[in-house]
Structure 1
Amino acid sequence: MTAATAHHESLIPRRVLPVLVAAQFAGTSLWFAVNAVMPDLQREFGWPATAVGSLTSALQFGFILGTLVFALLAIADRFPARAVFLVCALAGAACTVGAWAMVADYQALMGWRFATGFFLAGIYPVGMKIASQWYSRGLGAALGLLVGALVIGSASAHALRALSYALPWPTLMLGVAALAAAGGLMLYLLLPDAPGAVARVTTLQWRALGTLLSDAKVRSSVLGYFGHMWELYTVWVLMPLILASRLEGTALSWAAFALLGSGALGCIAGGQMAQRWGSARVAGVQLALSGLCCVVAPWAMEAPDLLFYGWLLIWGITVAGDSPQFSTLTARNAPAQAVGSVLTLTNSIGFAISIVSILLFVQLSTVMSLGLLLPALALGPVLGLLALRPLVKAEHRP
């Protein structure tokens, strides 16, 4: 850490990280806003059980398209990142209001969720870019908090589902929309542009995007992230099914919220440890532990309650905890003028991989027991660890 870097980070206003984290949580709460009220909607409109999967996939596809468009057009690097975040938070909130207004029309609801996913491309990766502008040496810790906010926001769907027995579903949907809009306004109004931020580019950064393949360091972190994404969202989707072997109703929803939300602990603790041991080593350890959780599934599914829930807790913590360190490694090694675009394109490909994994494992779960199926998720962590080896070795060198 140079003296100039230390001096710069000592001057960062204390409000920067709390505002970033709160805005990221508020903006990404849009992700599962409809999922949280699906039981109510299914009862009211007679939709099939598969509706929640279709609506989730619609949003994921929207996010993939959005991140691809944002990356290819260099939106996050050509325009002020704070303004992009604000516009997308307001647009995502408006889409959720539109979903509420047209909720009885299933096809229209699919369209609104697709659009919500598109605008989330200007929230999640753009928030990481803003963090990378403010922090350098402490980026791993900062992104640990940011991704931790995303994890809690994603897991909150299960808490909202538990609360929905007491709250009407329109209140929940409109409340999430208002929260996202407030997050965008808060970030825009309370955070100035980072001092010394790289000047915005005026041309498309095709060569910079090509570093995903051409630059060994970027390629290593990106491929490791892809292995992580093969596992992450599929675990999140299957977690309620795993818990359903022992729980039901409100107890299941609260357990799912706690176990998936525990990933925030892995993100935050990993961010702190990365400052001492390095982001690659921390990401590698967490990826190895989550992969081990996949492998022991046949025994853990049949274990006594204490071991069963302990297994799920370790899995919940580690399956998400490596994510911010992969983003940290990519942000540090990507061309400075195109960090936003490289992160966004990486997200796009990673979420495409997650959809393939989700569709495959959800389909297989209808014909196979989860105990026999879950070990196959370890393929992602194994390949991710192999890709990450050069960066881990580099951190071991004096």
Structure 2
Amino acid sequence: MWIENKWTALSLSAGAVVLSLTTWFSATAILPELRASLGMSPAAATWLTNAVQAGFVVGALVSSLLSLSDIMPITRLMAWASLAAGAFNAVALLEPGAASVIAARFATGAALALVYPPSVKLVSTWFRQARGLALGVMIGALALGSALPYLMRGVGAGPNWQLVLVGISVACVIASHLFGFVLSEGPHPYSLTKVDPRQIGAILRNRPVMLANVGYFGHCWDLYAMWGWIMAYAAAAQLAGLSVGNPAILAFAAIAMGAPASVAAGKMADHFGRCNMAALCAAASGAAALLIGVTFGGPAWAFLVVATIWGAIIIADSAQYTAAVTELADQTLVGSTVAFQMGVGFGITMITVWLLPMLAEVLGSWRWSFLILLPGPVVGAWAMLTLKKLPEAELLAGGRR
């Protein structure tokens, strides 16, 4: 199949990413059942989520170091990686033991590092104009794919955790077909480069790029901790007497709200400025981290409103940090620069994903645990407002800072 229309390419790319990224929280969505099946302690079970983060970090940094997405056809790379993610996701069906499942989750994350960052580069080859909107669609795909396991648990499979894993692995096979046989690079491809580990130094020395990266790192501080633990947080609020319905459905709704929000924020950023939109979303996310604790005791409608709005705004700025990197970086190193940004950023997510349940245990309640996420949005907003003042910011969104 030969695609000539950029919107068709964007739609199919986003669909493939949605299908692939369902593997990210496949274990988290069925955590109680998987814990019981594997005989894991609560502390060990956190590694069913964190192992994916760790695998993604290693995969992204190795990809950046070796410039994988800059030296080989990215659709072929993503096709094989998506197939691998589906295979590793299915390992838990064999119930081989906790250590083997955690190792498979690590490998799943490493495979996803060769799907999601290259997808950003792929879509950028189709869009010189409206890139913020296009990458907003891709971030929306990330949000929707991450949310779907919760929906599968809450509506379809219920506690039958094997059905969740089977459905997600099949989704990866479909995604692999789209990447390998349907999608191709657009009319604005980036130049290929050669493997040179010293290219990491070029990324680190680029101050505008690093400010966009610092903004992204702040964004990562709160994003995956909220996504990973919002179901547990809602369940704790329910145990405390708040009527929130099905916590899995609430988690799905909150995370999935990020999909339309990312698209809308991308479109607005193309008109009102990347830095402005990212800083605004970061500030709003920080406020939500406080307000979710305020509404923990009710009323229920306020808790639900804060949770869903937070789910929308916590991811809405993500595309703008990555779009900024594609515009500010050396154009022969775009794939490597994006992989570096995401590799370090997802490494940061491991800290808060690990810390949050420990903090809740120390406090004796989940209520104020999300306050630990507040520094991330503060740092993110500062970095983007600092970037806005630099002359290189003229390269952003056609001069819209």
Q: TM-score when scaled to structure 2?
A: 0.89
What's 1:305 paired with? 300
What's 2:316 paired with? 321
72-81 or 132-141: bigger deviation = 132-141
What's 2:336 paired with? 341
CA distance in 2, matches of 1:12, 1:235: 36
What's 1:283 paired with? 278
Alpha-carbon offset, residue 181 of structure 1: 1.7
Alpha-carbon offset, residue 340 of structure 1: 0.7
180-189 or 385-394: bigger deviation = 385-394
Cα distance 1:34–1:242, how it changes in 2: closer, same or farther (>3 A)? closer
What's 1:384 paired with? 380
24-33 or 48-57: bigger deviation = 48-57
Alpha-carbon offset, residue 33 of structure 1: 2.1
Q: TM-score when scaled to structure 1?
A: 0.90
What's 1:131 paired with? 123
- Runs of at least 5 residues in structure 1 that lack an aligned partner in the other structure: 1-10
Cα distance 1:389–1:212, how it changes in 2: closer, same or farther (>3 A)? farther
Alpha-carbon offset, residue 247 of structure 1: 3.2
CA distance in 2, matches of 1:219, 1:327: 11
What's 1:82 paired with? 75
Alpha-carbon offset, residue 397 of structure 1: 7.9
Counterpart secondary structure, 2:238: coil
CA distance in 1, matches of 2:31, 2:400: 51
Paired AA for residue 383 in structure 2: A
Query: Which of the residues 209, 216, 226 maps onto 1:218?
Result: 209
Cα distance 1:346–1:168, how it changes in 2: closer, same or farther (>3 A)? same
Paired AA for residue 338 in structure 1: L
CA distance in 2, matches of 1:13, 1:135: 7
CA distance in 1, matches of 2:12, 2:400: 36
Counterpart secondary structure, 1:350: helix
Cα distance 1:16–1:377, how it changes in 2: closer, same or farther (>3 A)? same
Counterpart secondary structure, 2:187: coil
Alpha-carbon offset, residue 36 of structure 1: 3.0
Q: Quick check: 1:211–1:219 contact (8 Å CA) kept in 2? A: no
CA distance in 1, matches of 2:152, 2:43: 20
Q: How does 1:140-179 map to 2 (within 5 A)?
A: 140-163=132-155, 165=157, 168-179=160-171
CA distance in 2, matches of 1:300, 1:121: 36
**1:191 is aligned to 2:168:** no
CA distance in 2, matches of 1:106, 1:119: 20
**1:97 is aligned to 2:90:** yes
Q: Quick check: 2:27–2:34 contact (8 Å CA) kept in 1? A: no
Cα distance 1:293–1:391, how it changes in 2: closer, same or farther (>3 A)? same
CA distance in 1, matches of 2:127, 2:234: 39
Q: Quick check: 1:88–1:119 contact (8 Å CA) kept in 2? A: yes
**1:254 is aligned to 2:246:** no
CA distance in 2, matches of 1:34, 1:245: 19
Calculate the aligned-residue CA RMSD, in Å.
2.3
112-121 or 360-369: bigger deviation = 360-369
Query: Which of the residues 212, 235, 239 maps onto 2:230?
Result: 239
Alpha-carbon offset, residue 211 of structure 1: 4.2
Alpha-carbon offset, residue 44 of structure 1: 4.0
Alpha-carbon offset, residue 89 of structure 1: 0.8
Deviations 1:126-162 (A, max 9, x none): 1111011111221111111111111111112211222
CA distance in 1, matches of 2:222, 2:117: 20
Query: Which of the residues 247, 252, 258 maps onto 1:263?
Result: 258
CA distance in 2, matches of 1:397, 1:162: 42
Cα distance 1:375–1:397, how it changes in 2: closer, same or farther (>3 A)? same
Deviations 1:261-307 (A, max 9, x none): 11112211101111211222111111110011123344333342222
Q: Quick check: 1:296–1:375 contact (8 Å CA) kept in 2? A: no
238-247 or 377-386: bigger deviation = 238-247
- Runs of at least 5 residues in structure 2 that lack an aligned partner in the other structure: none
Identical positions, percent: 28
Deviations 1:7-29 (A, max 9, x none): xxxx7444211111001111111
47-56 or 90-99: bigger deviation = 47-56
CA distance in 1, matches of 2:110, 2:337: 17
